[in-house]
Amino acid sequence: MATPSELYEEFLRMMDTGDEATVRAFVIEHFNEFPEETQEELATIFIEEALEARAGGIQARAALQDDALKALAAVESEEKELADQARIEELKGQLGAPASE
């Protein structure tokens, strides 16, 4: 088990690489070696990230559902217009008027 200073130095070396996945893996692997206060801060960060990811997924799903509802409304409107046109042609036929083209 590394000392807090050694752990911090290793953490800084990892940060210098710029590889977030490596830093995340390091933090998770050595989580219990960090001071309790740091563990609490890290846990808070991980929870916030998870909540943000979840919220982003929910927002994307809501946008998709909104788009689907708009498309459905457009289809229903077109169906109604086609049905109205068919009814107009039917009535014209019943009245002996020439059909529209």
Q: What is the CA radius of gyration of the chain?
A: 31
Q: What is the dihedral of CA 54, 58, 63, 64, to 10 degrees?
A: 100
- Please write the tens of the pLDDT for every residue from 31-73: 898 889 989 999 999 999 899 888 888 888 899 899 999 999 9
Query: Residue 24: helix, strand or coil by DSSP?
Result: helix
pTM of the full structure:
0.54
Instruction: Kindly give, in sequence order, each residue whose CB lies less than 8 Å from that of residue 27, ignoring residues fewer than 6 positions away.
Output: 11, 34, 42
Q: What's the Cα-to-Cα distance from 73 to each of 29, 31, 80, 83, 93, rounded to whole Å?
A: 51, 52, 10, 15, 30
Which segment, 1-15, 16-30, 64-78, is predicted with the most confidence on average? 64-78
